[in-house]
């Protein structure tokens, strides 16, 4: 069973994920991505979705035109876990490479 990070662990981990923040209302990591257009946003969602599915850890997200909002939380742990940190890092790598 995976456990949620403590507040201290989560705060420390976010120093290595500067584009993410903690959303207390959803008890999740949050990042907003903006792309040139809908096609680019959709392409990123497909890439991230495939990667997340392989990790068996799926984001909560929304898309409006060129904007993708992502929330990462581990429901089984009732909070942010190391699985969320790993997926956030992978998403950052995907986006950095120009998905």
Pick from 93, 96, 13, 91: nearest CA to 46 = 91
Of 3-7, 56-60, 76-80, 94-98, minimum mean pLDDT range: 94-98
Residue 1 included in any domain: no
Tokens linked to 16: 């290595």
Helix (H, G, I), strand (E, B) or coil at 3: coil
Residue 49 included in any domain: yes
Residue 73 included in any domain: yes
User: Which residues form the domain of 33?
Assistant: 7-96
pTM assigned to the model: 0.93
Q: What is the pLDDT of residue 97?
A: 64
pLDDT at 10 over 60: yes
The mean of the pLDDT values for the chain is 94
Please report, for the domain that includes residue 32, its CATH number: 3.30.1360.20
pLDDT at 25 over 60: yes
Q: What domain count does the chain have?
A: 1
Residue 50 included in any domain: yes
Q: Cα–Cα distance between 13 and 91 in angstroms, integer?
A: 15
Q: What is the pLDDT of residue 41?
A: 96
Task: Starting at the earlier edge strand, list the strands of the sheet with 67-72.
Answer: 21-23, 28-34, 67-72, 60-64
Q: Cα–Cα distance between 24 and 46 in angstroms, integer?
A: 27
Residue 2 included in any domain: no
95 pLDDT band, cuts 50/70/90, is confident
Q: What is the pLDDT of residue 37?
A: 97
């Amino acid at each position: 069973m995976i456990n949620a990070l403590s507040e201290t662990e989560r705060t420390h981990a976010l120093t290595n994920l500067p584009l993410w923040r903690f959303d207390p209302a959803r008890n999740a990591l949050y990042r907003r991505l903006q792309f040139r257009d809908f096609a680019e946003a959709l392409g990123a969602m497909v890439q991230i979705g495939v990667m997340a599915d392989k990790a068996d850890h799926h984001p909560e997200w929304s898309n409006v035109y060129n904007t993708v909002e992502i929330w990462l939380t581990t429901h089984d742990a009732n909070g942010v876990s190391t699985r969320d940190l790993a997926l956030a890092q992978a998403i950052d790598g995907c986006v950095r490479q120009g998905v």
